Amino acid sequence: MTKISLYQEIAETIRQDILQQKLRPGDRLPSVRKMANQWNCTIGTIQRAYEELAQQGLVVSRPGQGTHVAISIPVEQASPFRRAALVHRAEAFLLEVLTGGYTPAEVEQAIRLALDRWRTLQVETATWPEQSLRFVGSHDPAVAFITTHFNDIVPNYMPQLTFAGSLGGLIALAENQADLAGAHLWDEESDTYNIPFIRRLLPGRQVAVLTLAHRNLGLIVLPANPIGIADLADLALPGVRFINRQSGAGTRVWLDAQLRRLTLAPIQISGYDNEVQTHSEVAQAVAEKRVDVGLGLETAALAYGLDFIPLTKERYDLVIPANVWFREPIQALVRWLATDTAKTGIMDLGGYDIAQMGKVEWLNN
């Protein structure tokens, strides 16, 4: 292995600080004299390191003004460096957890769950690259799985996910803040999913309703169900701590309808106002024993090694306006959903019925 020179080591250290944003655009680097003292080397070594960074477009040096981080880092420079830095950090993390006894499958699943937390940002705060598909809607592990494979489906296209609930997704479509939405809204009057809500929220719009899967929804509890939860009525038992989904989530809509049928008032349930935005967060709260029970997907329970009490099977659809439907990324996604890779991958998550995956229904509202 070729040993790198000291100036290269110094340049690499500064480069990583820039790419990891420890040093931000416009920040002034220490003087060459100060850096020479810090690294116990000659001023010439530091000057050579700074020259190396300048050639890469990462810093700018001006007489009498010192050396500053470049305001705009060239894309052709930043992208490989950022990715290389990310891979390096990922490898260090993998070494740590695999040595600790975790399997690669467990690590992949954990990373996917962790990413879910970062996808609960509000639509208004999101910024989208030009080559992207803007997804807003209900949290679903299968959607997160699709995202991890999207570069294989449509190279150089980036899906941008915001988990804002089923209603939030349809509202984002109505306001042209999304390209497609994910929904599983149960209509109590018609005993159907999504269609009545789409007609109300997207009047005058032609949309495709693409079924992704049917999902098992139920109560998530600790292994062996130590407090003996059996059904929704037990949520009102003394001492039972519940965790809920946010208002506007399809899971919350279904729960509220069931509570009305049982003539149970929210005030009777300890934790009804304790809200989270994803099924993963529900399962995590149960796994950490912060609560006793939550309403969520079987796949989330499986991911955390928890027990699951099935209550219903719900339909999860992707709602796509006609002007978006015919774009190549969407058509590529539709084709990919018919592949064995997609079907096997989603089935392996657990808790999904894919018999109708890929079925399309057009609505002319």
State the pLDDT at residue 154: 83
Residue 183 CA to residue 140 CA, distance in Å, equals 9
Q: Where are the beta strands (DSSP E) in 252-306?
A: 275-276, 293-297
Residue 357: CB partners within 8 Å, gap ≥ 6? 211, 212, 213, 337, 342, 343, 346
Closest CA to 122 of 159, 160, 163: 163
Whether residues 81 and 122 share a domain: the answer is: no
What Å distances lie between residue 152 and 54, 59, 144, 172, 341, CA to CA? Answer: 35, 35, 14, 27, 11
Tokens for 320, please give them.
């796509």
Residue 2's pLDDT band (cuts 50, 70, 90): very low
Mean pLDDT within 33-47: 93
Whether 290 shows a pLDDT value over 90: the answer reads yes
Mean pLDDT within 165-186: 93
Residue 34 lies inside a defined structural domain of this protein: yes
Axis-axis angle for helices 43-55, 32-39 (nearest 10): 110
Contact criterion met (CB below 8 Å) for 206 and 363: yes
Whether 128 shows a pLDDT value over 50: the answer reads no
Residue 98 lies inside a defined structural domain of this protein: no
Q: Can you spell out the DSSP letters for 145-186? A: HHHHTHHHHSTT-EEEEEE--HHHHHHHHHTT--SEEEE--E
pTM of the model: 0.68
**pLDDT higher for 150 or 289?**
289
Whether 365 shows a pLDDT value over 80: the answer reads no
Whether residues 81 and 113 share a domain: the answer is: no
> Total structural domains in the chain?
2
Residue 91 lies inside a defined structural domain of this protein: no
Whether residues 32 and 119 share a domain: the answer is: no
In the chain, the amino acid numbered 198 is I
Tokens for 117, please give them.
């937390």
Q: Kindly report the backbone phi and psi dihedral angles of residue 162, in degrees, each rounded to the nearest multiple of 5, phi listed first.
A: -130, 115
State the pLDDT at residue 355: 95
What proportion of the chain, given as a percentage, has pLDDT over 70?
87
Contact criterion met (CB below 8 Å) for 187 and 193: yes
Residue 291 CA to residue 235 CA, distance in Å, equals 11
Looking at the DSSP bridge assignments, the partners of residue 293 are 221, 242
* CATH code of the domain covering residue 243: 3.40.190.290
Look up tokens 């292994």; give the residue: 223
Domain that holds residue 58: 6-86
Whether residues 194 and 78 share a domain: the answer is: no
State the pLDDT at residue 115: 66
Whether residues 154 and 286 share a domain: the answer is: yes
Whether residues 130 and 66 share a domain: the answer is: no
What Å distances lie between residue 256 and 59, 97, 279, 295, 349, CA to CA? Answer: 57, 41, 17, 12, 27
State whether residue 94 is helix, strand or coil. Answer: helix
Residue 94 lies inside a defined structural domain of this protein: no
Range picked from 257-261, 278-282, 283-287 for highest mean pLDDT: 257-261
Residue 161 lies inside a defined structural domain of this protein: yes
Residue 178 CA to residue 207 CA, distance in Å, equals 13
Residue 241 lies inside a defined structural domain of this protein: yes
Residue 234's pLDDT band (cuts 50, 70, 90): very high
Residue that is last in its domain, among 86, 119, 141? 86
Whether residues 142 and 199 share a domain: the answer is: yes
State the pLDDT at residue 129: 47
Whether residues 43 and 180 share a domain: the answer is: no
Contact criterion met (CB below 8 Å) for 158 and 129: yes
Residue 96 lies inside a defined structural domain of this protein: no
Residue that is last in its domain, among 58, 86, 114? 86
pLDDT digits (tens, 9 = 90+) for 343-362: 999 999 999 999 999 999 99
Whether residues 21 and 170 share a domain: the answer is: no
Whether 161 shows a pLDDT value over 60: the answer reads yes
Whether residues 50 and 117 share a domain: the answer is: no
* CATH code of the domain covering residue 20: 1.10.10.10
Whether 103 shows a pLDDT value over 50: the answer reads yes
Q: Name the DSSP letter for residue 76.
A: H
Residue 107 lies inside a defined structural domain of this protein: yes
Mean pLDDT within 243-255: 93
Whether residues 79 and 124 share a domain: the answer is: no
99: number of Cβ within 10 Å? 8
Residue that is last in its domain, among 86, 116, 131? 86
Residue 179 CA to residue 160 CA, distance in Å, equals 10
State the pLDDT at residue 248: 86
Whether residues 77 and 211 share a domain: the answer is: no
Judged on CB neighbours under 10 Å (0-12, 13-18, 19+), 180 is buried
